[in-house]
Amino acid sequence: MTAASDTDIAPAPPPEAAPQGSSADALGALRTEIDRLDDQIHDLVMRRAAVVAELANSRVKGGASPLRPGREAMILRRLLGRHAGALPGGAVVRLWREIFGASSAMQGGFTVALHARRPEEARLARDHFGGAIPIRPLPSAARALAAVAAGEAQVAVLPLPEEGEPDEQAWWTSLDAPRLQVAARLPFWAAKGESPPEALAVSLGAPDPSGADRSLLRIEMAEDRGRAQLVAALTAAGLPPRSLLLRRDGGVVRALAELDGVVAEGDPRLSALPVARALPLGFYAVPERGVLG
Ligand SMILES: O=C(O)C(=O)C[C@]1(C(=O)O)C=C[C@@H](O)C=C1
C-alpha cells in the first residue's frame, strides 16, 4: 500500500462532523425527555381540572363565587416560595393564571366587565383572567359595576383610584358595598423594581382572605378636618392607613384609606372613628413583587 493508496481511505470527517451527529442524538434525547414531561404535566393538568369539576359539581363550595382571589393568591405564594431553577417566576404566575381563569370558567359562565382608562388596564385584565375568558369593555365604571350587580358579569375590572380624578371616574365614592366589594388588585405579581399599571377587581359579596391582605375603607365626614387629623384618628383607632386619598365633593369630604389586614363590616375599630360613616369596600391579597424576574 502506497502513500497514494492511503488517500483512498475515506478521509477522517472534519472535526465538526462528529459533534453534529452526536448533538442530533442529544437533541433527540432531550426532546424525548421534554415529550415525556409534557405528557406528565398534561396528565396532571387534566387531573387538576377533574378535581375542580368535582368541586364545582359538589355542594362543598356552597353558593360562593367561582372566583376566589384569596385562594389563588395563597396557591401562587406557595408555588413561588418553592420555585427554583431557570424558569422565571413570572412564567409560573402566567401559567397558573391561565389555569385559574379556565377553572373559574368551568364553574359556570364567567365574564369580566372592563372599564379601562388606558390600554394597559385592558391588558392587565386579559393577563389576570387568561386568554379564554370573555372580557366586555364598557364605557364607564358605573356600567361595569351594574353588569356585575345584574349578574351579567362576575367581576368588574376598574382603574385604581387616583387623587384628583374627575367625579365620574371616582367609582369608589358610590360603590354599593357590602353588596359589591373589591376582591383583587391586579397584577398580583410583578418583577421587583417594576411599577406596573394597576387595577382593582370588584365582585359580588365578600372576598376570601389570603392570609396577607389589605383593605379599602371609605370614610365620609361632614367637616373637613384635614388629612393629618384623619390619619391621626385612624391611627388612634388601630387602623393606621398605608395611603389616604381625599376628595372634597360639595359639603361632603370623602376619603379612601388603604389599611393593613382585613377590615370588614362590624369591625369594632370602625366604631371608634370620629367620622360620619366608615364603610369597608373590600380587601385584596397583598401583591407580590418578586425577585425571580
Ligand atoms: O378553590 C376553589 O374554590 C376553586 O374554585 C378552584 C380554583 C383553582 O383552580 O385552584 C379556581 C378558581 C378560584 O378562583 C380559585 C381556585
Ligand 1 contact, 74 CB (< 6 A): no
Task: Answer yes or no: is pLDDT of 37 > 90.
Answer: yes
68 within ligand 1 shell (Cβ under 6 A): yes
Q: What is the mean pLDDT of residues 46-51?
A: 97
For residue 9, the model assigns a pLDDT of 58
Residue 64 located in a structural domain: no
User: Is the CB of residue 71 below 6 angstroms from any atom belonging to ligand 1?
Assistant: yes
Question: How many A from CA of 52 to the centre of ligand 1?
Answer: 7
- Residue span of the structural domain in which 202 resides: 69-290
Reduced 3-state DSSP string for the chain: CCHHHHCCCCCCCCCCHHHHHHHHHHHHHHHHHHHHHHHHHHHHHHHHHHHHHHHHHCCCCCCCCCCCHHHHHHHHHHHHHHCCCCCCHHHHHHHHHHHHHHHHHHCCCCCEEECCCCHHHHHHHHHHHCCCCCEEECCCHHHHHHHHHCCCCCEEEEECCCCCCCHHHCHHHHCCCCCEEEEEEECCEEECCCCCCCEEEEEECCCCCCCCEEEEEEEEECCCCCHHHHHHHHHHCCCCEEEEEEEEECCEEEEEEEEECCCCCCCHHHHCCCCCEEEEEEEEECCEEECCC
Does the pLDDT of residue 16 top 70, yes or no? no
Residue 5 has pLDDT above 50, yes or no: no
Summarised one tens digit per residue, pLDDT across range 194-204 is 888 999 999 99
Q: Is residue 102 part of a domain?
A: yes
Query: Is position 34 within any domain?
Result: no
Measured in Å, residue 211 CA sits from the centre of ligand 1 at: 16
* pLDDT value at residue 2: 39
Mean of per-residue pLDDT scores for the chain:
91
Confidence of residue 18 (pLDDT cuts 50, 70, 90): low
Q: Which of 52, 96, 155 to mutate to test the pocket of ligand 1 (most atoms within 8 A of CB)?
A: 52
Q: How far apart are the first and last CA of the chain?
A: 65
* 42 — pLDDT class (breaks 50, 70, 90): very high
Q: What is the pLDDT of residue 102?
A: 94
For residue 39, report the distance from its CA to the centre of ligand 1, in Å: 23
Q: What's residue 90's pLDDT? A: 93
- With a 6 Å cutoff on the Cβ, whether 36 touches ligand 1 is no
Lowest mean pLDDT, pick from 4-13, 106-115, 136-145: 4-13
Average pLDDT of the residues in 116-131: 94
pLDDT tens for each residue of 146-191 = 999 999 999 999 999 999 999 889 999 999 999 999 999 999 999 8
pLDDT of residue 291: 64
Measure 126 CA to ligand 1 centroid, in angstroms: 18
**Residue 74 within a domain:** yes
Does a structural domain hold residue 127?
Answer: yes
Confidence (pLDDT) at 195: 85
The pLDDT value recorded for residue 250 is 80
How many domains, in total, are found in the chain? 1
Instruction: Give the model confidence (pLDDT) of 228-277 as tens digits.
Output: 999 999 999 999 999 999 998 888 899 999 999 999 999 999 998 999 99
Nearest CA to ligand 1 atom 8: 100
The verdict on residue 33 lying in a domain is: no
- pLDDT (tens digit, 9 = 90+) per residue, 56-102? 888 776 767 788 999 999 999 999 999 999 999 999 999 999 999 99
| Beta-carbon contacts of residue 292 (< 8 Å; ≥ 6 apart) | 80, 83, 88, 89, 90, 191
pTM: 0.89
- Kindly state whether residue 11 falls inside one of the protein's structural domains: no
Expressed in angstroms and rounded, the spacing between residue 265 Cα and the centre of ligand 1 is 25
What's the average model confidence in pLDDT over 103-121? 92
- 182: domain CATH number is 3.30.70.260
Mean pLDDT for 102-116 is 92
Determine how many CB atoms are found less than 10 A away from the CB of residue 17.
9
Which atom in ligand 1 lies closest to the alpha carbon of residue 68? 14
- Look at residue 109 and tell me whether its pLDDT is greater than 80: yes
Give me the pLDDT at residue 292, please.
44
d(CA 190, CA 90): 7
CA of 152 to the centre of ligand 1 (A): 20
Least confident of 83-87, 208-212, 248-252, 279-283: 248-252
Between these two residues, 17 and 183, which has the higher pLDDT value? 183
